[in-house]
Structures are given as C-alpha cells and as structure tokens.
Amino acid sequence: MENNVQKLKDLLKLANVKKEGTDLFDFIAAFTIYTSAVDFFTIQSARLLEQIIAKGKLENNENLNFEVHLDSWFYENKVSTRRILIEIQKFLPFTDEKKPENTKELNEVIKNFLNSAHNFLDNRNKIIHGMGNPQNSLEDVQRFCKESFSLYKDFQKKHEIMSLMLAPYSLTADQRKLLYS
C-alpha cells in the first residue's frame, strides 16, 4: 500500500506540472493521472466507510450484512468508480449515535464528496467521448481537460475534508486485524 501511495504522489506531482503547459498531450496525461487518483481515493473512501460501518456493528455485537474487501479486490474485479460511489450513497444517511449533533454535517460532507466525484466523472466521460466526436476540435478537448483540472481540485478538497471528519470513526489496529482476518 505504501508503495502505491508513493507512486500516486509521484504521478500527481507530474500531473501538476503537465497541466500548467499548453501541450494537448500533456493535458491528456495529467487528466489520466487525475482520473487514476479519483479511482484510488474513491476506493479508499469506500474502504473507510466500510470500516466505520463494521466498527459500529462490532461494537454492538451485530453481524456484518456485507463483505469487506482489501484494495486489491476493487482492482482485480474492475469495479467502476461510479458503482463504488452509488454503493456509498446507499449507506447514507450515517448516524453518529454518540454525537447525534454531528450527523447532519457528517452526511453533508459525504454528499459533497460524492457530488464532486460524480462531477469529475461526468467531465471524464465528456473528454473520453469528446476526443472522438467530430464536432469537437482539439481546442475543445483541451478546454475539457482544463475543466477536469478544476474539478479534480474540488474533488481532492472534498475528499480531504471527508477523510479528516471520518478519521475518528475508523477502526483501531486490533479491530482492523479482526475484520480482515
């Protein structure tokens, strides 16, 4: 996992440089890296939410009504990012039984994350399909890529906010061992 995170950090540094240029191929490269980052962070978010739900069930001595997965499962089974987002949506609303006053903000933050991811994916589709569309010029494709850069920045910000807010709810190391054994 640590190697994968470092690889992604290195790629994101490259994307951040390439998006500042004017070359269409650099834009497409940056867009592709951002798309991979959205996939990765969406999988991490799904796993975090999965752990939070599992933690609540473990603390209440309830059985899990879903199967937990390691990162590799999402890649080996080629689970689409959009499908992961839809599955996350199904678990809403989350409730914080210990601090019910946090519930509204918690759900709002998760919804903001989901919306930002969907917005990025919608634009991703526009780029992928736009390249082959005879009605779009190369300048249009370049404009679509630039739009994706700002959408990625928004996604990144929303993901960070959500991750920080959910961190206190995540599993302890012992609970993680128990869940994934």
Whether 13 and 31 have beta carbons less than 8 Å apart is answered as no
How far is residue 97's CA from residue 138's CA, in Å, rounded to a whole number?
A: 52
How far is residue 170's CA from residue 34's CA, in Å, rounded to a whole number?
A: 26
Instruction: Please give the pLDDT value at position 1.
Output: 63
Work out the average pLDDT over 167-178: 81
Question: At residue 97, does pLDDT exceed 80?
Answer: no
Average pLDDT, the chain: 89
Question: At residue 24, does pLDDT exceed 70?
Answer: yes
* pLDDT, tens digit (0-9, with 9 covering 90-100), for 54-86: 888 878 888 887 788 887 888 888 889 999 999
How far is residue 84's CA from residue 74's CA, in Å, rounded to a whole number?
A: 9
Residue 10: band (very low, low, confident or very high) from pLDDT cuts 50, 70, 90:
very high
- Helix-strand-coil percent breakdown of the chain, rounded to 5? 80, 0, 20
The pTM (predicted TM-score) of the whole model is 0.89
How far is residue 101's CA from residue 81's CA, in Å, rounded to a whole number?
A: 31
Name which of 47-56, 104-113, 132-141, 161-170 the model is least confident about: 47-56
| CA 68 vs CA 54, 71, 98, 151: distances in Å | 8, 10, 24, 30
| CA 66 vs CA 128, 148, 157, 159: distances in Å | 34, 34, 29, 24
* pLDDT, tens digit (0-9, with 9 covering 90-100), for 31-55: 999 999 999 999 999 988 888 888 8
Largest CA distance in the chain: 59
Give the tokens for residue 115.
Answer: 């919306």
Work out the average pLDDT over 145-156: 96
Work out the average pLDDT over 116-133: 92
Residues 121-142 as b/e (b if ≥16 CB within 10 A, e otherwise) read bebbebbeebeeeeebeeeebb
**Residue 62: how many CB atoms within 10 A of its CB?**
10
Work out the average pLDDT over 113-141: 93
Work out the average pLDDT over 143-149: 94
